[in-house]
Chains A and B, each alone.
Chain A
Amino acid sequence: MKNTFLSTLIVASLLLMTGCSEYPGLDAPATRPNKDPYPSTYIVPDNAAFAILNANVLTGDGAELRDTDLLVRKGKIIALGTNLDLDASVSLIDAKGQWVTPGLIDVHSHMGVYSAPGTANHSDGNEMTSPVTAQVWAEHSVWPEDPQFEKALAGGVTTVQILPGSGNLIGGRGVTLKNIPSITVQGMKFPGAPYSLKMACGENPKRVYGSRNTLPSTRMGNMAGYRAAWIEASDYKKSWDDYISDAEAGKDVDPPSRNLRLETLEGVLQGDIRIHNHCYKADEMAQMIDMSKEFGYEIAAFHHAVEAYKAAPMLAENDICGVMWADWWGFKQEAFDMVRENIALVDYAQACAIIHSDDPIQIQRLNQEIAKAMSAGNRMGLDISPAKAFRWGTYNAAKSLGLEDKIGSIALGKNADIVLWTEHPLSVYSHASKVWIDGALRFDRDDPSVQPTSDFNLGIIKAGAVRP
């Protein structure tokens, strides 16, 4: 009686430990911890098929199509061309003389982690309590009601990468969101998007920690800090690799203790998590590239790359994107060597050039920032077409996020993230007229019922009123 009771307890506890395995405690394979414990709950809304007719299209991957029709069904672009075969169920939008582009993508935003109003309670973007905080995830800070999101949507921005700030050497994980209203950040998360890791070169980390008299207080201290972290991460990865191979060899082994900080860095070494690296200066980019080779990982992009034009051949050779502003400069020494032709010159050197905002004002008009960068390039004789320039905010941005097979261009099979513009999209006078995400109309300049506003604005903006 006593023994039976005990053995029942043991079986029950084994069940608890291993879940509902059919053979508890026996054949459960040794695995790494769940890589997606806060999964996206976003579902593509059901929407009737629609077609945009007679539009001028900047495809987002470098082409311009005149008088073109495109058909959207079940959230995807399924036909593109002229004289499409459209059945009666398809609703039609005549866009004669109007311009269509893919949704804009901002790969560097702090919306939700530095929400408006910019009060201390909303300062959730920089965990500046230790120089390496790879354990923090930006999505755990995002306030989905940040009233900045809806303004970016009105500017045609459909996808955003939300990053932690740059006070730390390794600031934490970034997350890619669809720019839709949601109660939860899980409802905005782009299904299947890779995670990113924010790293920062230069002045910020050494200033933040140097002022506290701790490492790093110098650029060499910065490098020592990253390298120490990668050494730890390499050891951690080995401990898990050993555990899994031992377990698979039938040995009775316990899994290593989880370490959130090293788990993220290990994800980089495994190629799952993409490095987005705040790095202004060409010389520091070279150090970061050598370090990636020392430890065996890849860099997706250098952000705020004010000196990318100096490093352009190096970026092209290593397939690293330069993420740039059109004209920001002078706020720090590392941002002093600005040229307005930066993006154009990186493109000229056949490296991947991207526009970014890092700013809730400029995210509302990335089209104008692209236009300025194009104009500067053309002024020096580079002959950049609008179609080519628009890649900087669409296809190239998608590529840096590892999402170029889903978004970033108007092409068959791609997600129907589409913007219809009131004027040529590279004009200062142009507005996004309609914005679709996965074929769902999320913003309509002519219809206040399709201009979502945050809970925050209720009682501030009168019911039914629209505030540009």
Chain B
Amino acid sequence: MKYTLPLLALTLVSTLASASSILVKDADIYASSGLMVKTNLYIENGKIAAIGERTPLTADLEIQGLGMSVTAGLFNSSTQLGTVEVNAIEQTVDFYSENEAVTASLRIAEAFNPRSTLIPHNRVHGLTHSLLVPESATHLFSGQVALVQLGNQPKVIHQSLAVALDFTEHGVSLMGGSRAAALVQLRQALDDAKDFSRNRKAALAGEHRDYVLSYADLAALEPVVNGTKPLLVRTNRASDISTILNLAKDFQLQLILSSVLEGWMVADEIASADVPVIIDPIHNLPNSYESLGARLDNAKLLADAGVMLLFTGMDWHNTHNAYLVRQSAGNAVANGLNKSVAIAAMTTNPAQLFDAPVSGDIAVGDIADLVLWSGDPLEVTSEAELVIINGEIVPMESRALQLRDRYFERLKQ
């Protein structure tokens, strides 16, 4: 562990933002191929050009990385970044709608604000991409899931990766309060979407039967029932997870599970269905009757069963402090998860599953999307020294840092 941190990055990097070549010397590199200890990393024109002995001896920007580490840029796989500024100020909150006429058709990406002050705050701490997941306020279906990149020009990468559905106690409460009633309505919606898909022209011409959901919602569900787009289902109780797995099988849906606080109890079922899960490994409290089995080694037990993990967190700070996904990952490792598996859950796994423009890895030829950490990559006392997103160095600037500097000047007097 390091307690005294070098102060190189804040000043050096901002002056060399345009460096066309970067050499990081002797850092520990965490790649999907394995850990490379005390290894050089050379980046040229935004790409990883060489690793190890073949790196050049000089570069525009040279950083002594001994005792530091490099990982791919971090993903948080469940956030509302760019769609909320202050939660208690409803005018700034766009990640759910109370309009009952808009469910699966809501595209959270259309509300994304690339100038949100939350984005620089998160990227200076190593978050390079995040999944935007809408929340349910009127229906099980909350809308369409997007991927955003948090670089110097934050942008939406994918408008609609999946349709999100809330089958937690909250979602069920919106459908009349019984899981059984919610499932009736869910099957009806999926059947309707299939019917709509088969009779689209007649339906839009008003020459077909009525549906509960709007045409826009049914159109949004069409690729889901046709098996070309995943349904992302938030659910927690072990029996609810099984129910959703069975439903996905019946309807031949692609499925991603989210939250799964009791996932460890049905880990084998999830694994044999080959369904990836988005989880926050920090939870261990019986906060509700759907999470009586929550435990800190949920991530480890799921991974042991062969389930692909994607991480979010930490707890409800998954938007303003979405970078704290790293602390959740560290706690998963403290509770038994393999460290490279934990890092993959924030890098390669989401990059691949969500078809990101970066690899989520550190390999020659890849676009540089990475973080240099002052120490162990999961340690709470490690700080981001250098953040590169999609080949570009990110300036270490944020509203919080401006406030800090303003008041430190006053306190020094």
Contacts and interface: CB of A to CB of B under 8 A. Distances in A.
B217 interface: no
Interface in A336-362: 336-341, 345, 348-349, 359-362
Nearest to B87: A331
A386 B285 contact: no
Contacts of B293: 460, 467
Contacts of A327: 317, 321, 324
B175 to A, nearest CB: 19
Nearest to A373: B380
Interface stretch (A54-62, A116-124, A239-247): A116-124
B285 A378 contact: no
Contacts of B315: 359, 361-362
Given A365-B331, A427-B1, A313 B411 contact: yes
B118 A428 contact: no
A429 B77 CA distance: 23
Task: Determine which residue in A332, A364, A375 has the highest number of CB atoms from chain B within 10 A of its CB, and name it.
Answer: A375
A147 interface: yes
Given A116-B286, A468-B335, A380 B88 contact: no
Contact of B287 (A118, A328, A331): A118
Interface string B23-56: 0000000000000000000000000000000000
B407 A339 contact: yes
Interface in A84-129: 116-119
B404 A331 contact: no
B400 A340 contact: yes
A430 interface: yes
A148 interface: yes
B165 to A, nearest CB: 23
B320 A329 contact: yes
Given A330-B118, A348-B411, A427-B379, A118 B400 contact: no
B285 A331 contact: no
Interface stretch (B2-10, B103-111, B134-142, B182-190): B2-10
B21 interface: no
A309 B88 CA distance: 23
A385 B3 contact: yes
B283 interface: yes
Nearest to A385: B3
Contacts of A365: 331
Given A118-B288, A148-B285, A375-B380, A332 B4 contact: no
A341 B380 CA distance: 14
Task: Determine which residue in A148, A203, A309 has the highest number of CB atoms from chain B within 10 A of its CB, and name it.
Answer: A309
Contacts of B180: none
Contacts of B327: 368, 372, 428
B383 interface: yes
B288 A333 contact: no
Contacts of A341: 404, 408
B22 to A, nearest CB: 21
Given A330-B320, A331-B87, A361-B315, A147 B285 contact: yes
Interface in B83-139: 84-89, 118
Given A310-B407, A468-B295, A381 B7 contact: yes
Interface residues of A, number: 59
A331 B88 contact: yes
Nearest to A362: B315
Contact of A117 (B286, B297, B382, B411): B286
A330 B284 CA distance: 25
Given A361-B315, A371-B380, A378 B5 contact: yes
Interface string B262-291: 000000000000000000001111111100
A46 interface: no
A312 interface: yes
B380 A117 contact: no
Contacts of A405: none
B286 A460 contact: yes
A295 interface: no
Given A309-B407, A330-B85, A375-B5, A339 B400 contact: yes
Interface in B292-344: 292-293, 295-297, 315, 317, 319-321, 324, 327, 330-331, 333-335
A431 interface: yes
A337 B403 contact: yes
A372 B295 contact: no
Task: Determine which residue in B282, B401, B407 has the highest number of CB atoms from chain A within 10 A of its CB, and name it.
Answer: B407
A362 B411 CA distance: 29
Task: Determine which residue in B288, B297, B381 has the highest number of CB atoms from chain A within 10 A of its CB, and name it.
Answer: B381
B330 A428 contact: yes
A170 interface: no
Contacts of A430: 334
B134 to A, nearest CB: 19
A328 B317 contact: yes
A148 B315 CA distance: 16
A380 B85 contact: no
A431 B292 CA distance: 23
Contact of B289 (A117, A310, A313, A381): A117
Given A339-B404, A376-B383, A460-B292, 7 more contacts: A309-B411, A312-B411, A330-B85, A333-B86, A333-B89, A375-B383, A468-B296
29 contacts: A116-B285, A116-B286, A117-B289, A147-B286, A327-B317, A330-B87, A332-B86, A336-B86, A341-B404, A361-B282, A375-B5, A375-B380, A378-B5, A378-B381, A380-B408, A426-B1, A426-B3, A427-B380, A428-B330, A428-B331, A428-B333, A428-B379, A429-B330, A431-B334, A460-B292, A467-B284, A468-B284, A468-B297, A468-B335
10 tightest Cβ-Cβ pairs between the two chains A and B: A428-B330, A330-B320, A468-B296, A339-B404, A332-B88, A375-B381, A371-B380, A331-B87, A428-B380, A429-B334
